[in-house]
Amino acid sequence: MAFPEGFLWGGATAANQCEGAWDVDGKGPCSADFMTQGDRSHPREITWPERVEGKVYPGDIAIDHYHRFEEDIALFGEMGFKTYRMSIAWSRIFPNGDETEPNEAGLAHYDAVFDCCHKYGIEPLVTISHYETPMGLAKYGSWENRKVIDFFVHYCDVIFRRYKGKVHYWLTFNEINSMGMGMMSCYMAGGMDPHSTPQQKATASYHQFLASAKAVQLAHQIDPENKVGAMYGGIFSYPATCDPDDVMGNYKFMQNCFMYPDVQCRGAYPASALKAYEREGIVLPVQEGDAELLKAGTVDFLTYSYYFSMVAGKDTHFDVDTGSPVTGYSNPYLETTEWGWTIDPVGLRYTLNLFWDRYGLPLMVVENGLGVIEEPGEDGIVHDQYRIDYHREHIKAMRDAIELDGVDLRGYTTWGCIDIVSAGTGEMRKRYGFIYVDADDSYQGSFARTPKDSFWWYQRVIASNGECLE
Ligand code: BGP
């Protein structure tokens, strides 16, 4: 059998994209609550500090998972999930982020969620911060301020103690490299002002690294059974050609992206990143003891999202205004989704090898999936053979990485295992799920849940531990 016994098959969501109930039971406003709905041609707007009358904020209702989690988790159980990757909305526990006492209603909610998971034999895999920073922290400058580390660690301390024995797998920051990317990304990744400068983003990342390192140590102290992982947002690229300048351009691009897992997995900034900061005049706010802390707080495992691969080369650069990578190339060998994302299962095997060779840490693929516009057929069912094909090829790539390459891969959680709101565009109609949710982009509908064809297929995959892929 290629997949090891105990392989963690499952699915993934994030609180702000599925829960709704944005102001219920004492929850405070988080970054996602100020992001309007967009679509492929209109980016989402960030309206912080206001919520503008008449605009749609998709996270307000989302798929109402907050009130329907029992039904949803029962369906995950029916599929045979071994794990459910989800996030705790920080502002349900600390409404403004900086309180001393947690909000009991928020804590009780996740007690019920975790109990429900265990009822179905599902091990929760919890992201502590997934694009939902309490906006009460904006008055401090959010992650630019070192104080925010203490608020985050206090939040961790509370949830590690409260859920001891119920949760064993934690991820500190979703796609931690988002902080260094574009305007929307740094807001999503940490409630930062979208116009933050490269210096501000580098400072914020530095603080997130320290916070993550402290969280790792604390999790181990509170429960030696705890395992804490890093989560990298899957940016990977191939060289545009074998022109050495393209190969070098691609390498520099990847080096830049890998700074994030390097710090979390190796406990220090790579020399290339420090040199780049020096050239750009960026100064990290280093204090005594920080280097030791980063070393002592390396993660137990590395996870990442994988949707597509990119191409980079001598013309690749980071846009100076937005910080977004401009790779400047496309890949003629790959098809793309309706949202222009390349479909590249071989790239998944490639990246698993890359990370295994680079860090030698256990790996999990915690996001992978196909976002499409789809409607139920006349029989009321979504017949999503394309999604089955997509996942089958990616599972084969993981199988090859394990069986042929010896990669230590421990789990696979597909993104949006139930239809949820898209993070990038805010659309509901960009659907990834094995379960169809009857809600449209205006959040109208019955919200009924119906298994798609892929639901029964994934059930067979899990039951056979990845042997049966048809
Ligand atoms: C990742 C995020 C998720 C998620 C996914 C799919 O970057 O961690 O939150 O939503 O991408 O992206 P989208 O929702 O934009 O299709």
- Phi/psi region, residue 296 (left: phi>0; alpha: psi -120 to 50; beta: rest), is alpha
233 lines ligand 1 (CB under 6 A): yes
Tell me if residue 101 is catalytic. no
Q: Active site residue: 175, 292, 338, 470, which one? A: 175
pLDDT of residue 438: 98
pLDDT of residue 183: 85
* Backbone torsions φ then ψ of 173, nearest 5 degrees: -125, 130
Strands 449-451 and 435-437: what pairing?
antiparallel
Summarised one tens digit per residue, pLDDT across range 185-231 is 999 999 999 999 999 999 999 999 999 999 999 999 999 999 999 99
Ligand 1 centroid to Cα of residue 371, in Å, is 10
Residue nearest to atom 3 of ligand 1 (CA): 423
Query: For residue 41, what is the DSSP state?
Result: S
* Backbone torsions φ then ψ of 151, nearest 5 degrees: -65, -40
pLDDT of residue 182: 83
Chain position carrying tokens 């545009």: 240
437 lines ligand 1 (CB under 6 A): no
Tell me if residue 175 is catalytic. yes
Record the pTM.
0.98
Q: What share of the chain is helix, strand, coil (3-state, %, to 5)?
A: 40, 15, 45
C-alpha 62/C-alpha 95 separation (Å) is 19
Best residue among 19, 30, 367, 413 to mutate for probing ligand 1's pocket (most ligand atoms within 8 Å of CB) is 367
* Domains of the chain, earliest start first: 8-463 (3.20.20.80)
Best residue among 422, 428, 432 to mutate for probing ligand 1's pocket (most ligand atoms within 8 Å of CB) is 422
Of residues 273, 256, 328, 268, the one with CA closest to residue 296: 268
Ligand 1 atom with minimal separation from the 421 CA? 14
Query: CB burial class (10 A; 0-12, 13-18, 19+) of residue 9?
Result: buried
Residue nearest to atom 11 of ligand 1 (CA): 423
Query: CB burial class (10 A; 0-12, 13-18, 19+) of residue 416?
Result: buried
Ligand 1 centroid to Cα of residue 222, in Å, is 31
The residues, ordered by sequence, that sit 6+ positions from 165 with a Cβ below 8 Å of its Cβ are 223
Residue nearest to atom 16 of ligand 1 (CA): 422
Ligand 1 centroid to Cα of residue 445, in Å, is 23
What tokens appear for 49 in the block? 């500090």
Ligand 1 centroid to Cα of residue 365, in Å, is 14
* Backbone torsions φ then ψ of 211, nearest 5 degrees: -65, -40
Handedness of CA 331, 334, 337, 342 (dihedral sign): negative
Of residues 200, 90, 181, the one with CA closest to residue 142: 200
Q: What average pLDDT values come out for the chain (470 residues) when binned by 10 residues?
A: 95 98 98 94 94 96 98 99 99 98 99 99 98 98 98 99 98 97 92 95 98 99 98 97 98 96 98 97 98 98 98 89 82 95 98 98 98 97 98 98 98 98 96 98 96 98 97
pLDDT of residue 268: 98
14 lines ligand 1 (CB under 6 A): yes
Ligand 1 centroid to Cα of residue 11, in Å, is 13
Q: Active site residue: 132, 144, 367, 374, which one? A: 367
Best residue among 17, 305, 420 to mutate for probing ligand 1's pocket (most ligand atoms within 8 Å of CB) is 305
